[in-house]
Copies of this chain bind each other. A is one copy, B any other.
Amino acid sequence: MLNDRILRELRAIVGDDYVRAGPAQLIAYSYDATFQQAPPDAVVLPRTTEQVAAVLRLANRDGIPLIPRGAGTSLAGGTIPLTGGIVLSLTRMNDIKEIDVGNTCAVVEPGVVTATFQAAVEKVGLFYPPDPASLNQSTLGGNVACNAGGPRCLKYGVTRDYVLGLTVALADGRVLRLGGKTIKNVSGYQLIQLFTASEGTLGVITQITLRLVPLPRHRSTAVAIFPKLDDAGDAVTAVLGSGVLPVTLELMDKLAINCVEDYLHMGLPRDAEALLLIEQDGNSQMAVQQEIETVAAACKETGASDVRVATSPEEREALWRARRAVSAAIGRRAPNKIGEDVVVPRSQVPEMVRRVRRIGEEHGFETPIFGHAGDGNLHPNFLFDRRKPGEMERLERAAAAVFRAALDLGGTLSGEHGIGTLKREFMEDALGADTLGVMRAIKQALDPKGILNPGKKFPTGTTGDHSGFLTALPTLDSPAGEE
């Protein structure tokens, strides 16, 4: 617990209204989009970079854990205050400070909601492509801290590809102003890239300069139905081999299709093993149409039983509604779900889908799968019931098997959700001891007291023994500090 003196100091920095320490207030900052829950000792809501730096100086002086938080939409436990301490909520820092049309970039505070920003830049004919599923809630600061992705990454790249400048407050309160409105910059080490995807463990992002691109004038969307899963995998290769780089190549497997159909009754084919949702954009309607036709032909040649191209905005919207509903539709099927985020080389997508299905069967879980097939980034979901005795232990074994399968196929633990608490124990398996050692050395150089988002990203357990990697995490049933 923080003592009264520290709370007084925090109030002096951000104002009385913006330090919250009552139990009822803390509960709101104790969870994210996973099943975990652990309350902080205080929540501080700064308004300026200077306030953030002052809070950090205080926390660093006294060795108090400080957990930066955007909208709390993490699917990896990235912002759970495992160790107590101060949650630093950046939601009040939500100004779009500038949209610079001439330099096609924008300067924003970290608490701006992704979708709000996208709408603002689209009004002036510009486009910010990264589109994590949580974009109506997630904040740009969180997007940068996790290097967020989304369906459009195949053509447009991930959040990292849009960050031109960052203001970052370090653990000791020093403030770095990195980059700016220039597109290219090789002056020194690429620190902007180092802070991107650092999940709040190296510094607190207080301002972001984002690159924008011209808003494409035309879009075309198609859905391809595959009786056989392997054919959908071949289609992905064939599409990219056709010379077209679509905006999206989204996969849903049979169970995911059925979950959506149960939910939306759209007439999706329940017996298809896979569905690909494909979108292309561009400035020439004819070129976009041509490319979608090339894609459709590639899908048919590789075994699609049906390819439908949306002929109206309403049809396009219906196809996307199906894709966007996947997560909610899956959620209706069981009391709990956990969504994984593994990546494999694109050619291994069908094999990975098969392995996930086998792992689900072996451990007794339904495992609907969807994801960004063009990027090899899959979201296998496990449906479970946390109240069942032994369920979490079984889930732990199944999730570990999925991670091992991804690594075995030349893949990685996470494509866009981050490591957080959920995957930290597998970091050494994924990266090797030497690489992890270098990451620890960088963490030590920037945050020697380890106050920033402790317990995230780095393994806590001993090499090779990952038991408890899920079951030992704090939840509502066993709040942190009371075990």
Q: Report A's interface with B, CB cutoff 8 A.
A: 100-105, 125, 146-147, 149, 153-154, 157-158, 160-161, 170, 174-191, 193-194, 196-198, 202, 213-217, 237, 240-245, 282-284, 286-287, 290-291, 294, 343-347, 372, 375-377, 410-419, 423, 427, 430-432, 434-439, 441-442, 444-446, 457
Q: How far apart are the CA atoms of A412 and B164 in the complex, in Å?
A: 12
Q: Which residue from chain B places its CB closest to the CB of A105 in the assembled complex? A: B345
Contact A184 B445 (CB under 8 A): no
Q: How far is the CB of A77 from chain B (nearest CB, A)?
A: 14
Contact B194 A346 (CB under 8 A): no
| Selected contact of A197 from candidates B186, B417, B442, CB within 8 Å | B186
Q: How far apart are the CA atoms of A186 and B149 in the complex, in Å?
A: 10
Q: How far is the CB of A412 from chain B (nearest CB, A)?
A: 5
Contact A182 B244 (CB under 8 A): no
Count of this chain's copies in the oligomeric assembly? 2
| Selected contact of A189 from candidates B198, B215, B345, CB within 8 Å | B198
Q: How far is the CB of A95 from chain B (nearest CB, A)?
A: 20
| B residues less than 8 Å from A431 (CB atoms) | 187-188
| B residues less than 8 Å from A174 (CB atoms) | 434, 437
Given A146-B186, A240-B104, A375-B183, the answer on whether A177 and B432 have CB atoms closer than 8 Å is: yes
- 3 closest A-B pairs by CB: A287-B287, A193-B193, A284-B287
| B residues less than 8 Å from A187 (CB atoms) | 412-414, 419, 423, 427, 430-431
| B residues less than 8 Å from A411 (CB atoms) | 180, 182
Contact B170 A161 (CB under 8 A): no
| Selected contact of A184 from candidates B102, B198, B416, B441, CB within 8 Å | B416
| Selected contact of A183 from candidates B185, B198, B377, B423, CB within 8 Å | B377
Q: How far is the CB of A151 from chain B (nearest CB, A)?
A: 12
| B residues less than 8 Å from A457 (CB atoms) | 188
Q: How far apart are the CA atoms of A105 and B125 in the complex, in Å?
A: 33
| Selected contact of A283 from candidates B170, B243, B377, CB within 8 Å | B243
Q: How far apart are the CA atoms of A241 and B126 in the complex, in Å?
A: 9
Q: How far is the CB of A276 from chain B (nearest CB, A)?
A: 16
Contact B283 A286 (CB under 8 A): no
Contact B196 A435 (CB under 8 A): no
Q: How far apart are the CA atoms of A100 and B240 in the complex, in Å?
A: 12
| B residues less than 8 Å from A198 (CB atoms) | 189
| Selected contact of A345 from candidates B103, B432, B441, CB within 8 Å | B103
Q: How far apart are the CA atoms of A227 and B201 in the complex, in Å?
A: 53
Q: How far apart are the CA atoms of A197 and B191 in the complex, in Å?
A: 11
| B residues less than 8 Å from A158 (CB atoms) | 184
Given A101-B241, A214-B244, the answer on whether A442 and B189 have CB atoms closer than 8 Å is: yes
| Selected contact of A343 from candidates B125, B185, B241, B343, CB within 8 Å | B185
Contact B214 A182 (CB under 8 A): no
Q: Which of A161, A343, A419 has the most CB of B within 10 A?
A: A343
| B residues less than 8 Å from A196 (CB atoms) | 190, 193
| B residues less than 8 Å from A189 (CB atoms) | 194, 197-198, 202, 439, 442
Provide a sorted-by-A list of 30 A–B residue pairs whose CB atoms are within 8 angstroms.
A100-B345, A104-B240, A125-B243, A149-B184, A160-B193, A161-B161, A170-B438, A174-B434, A174-B437, A176-B435, A180-B345, A181-B410, A182-B376, A183-B375, A183-B376, A183-B377, A184-B416, A186-B415, A187-B413, A188-B435, A188-B457, A189-B198, A189-B442, A243-B283, A282-B282, A282-B287, A283-B287, A283-B294, A284-B291, A286-B286
| B residues less than 8 Å from A202 (CB atoms) | 189
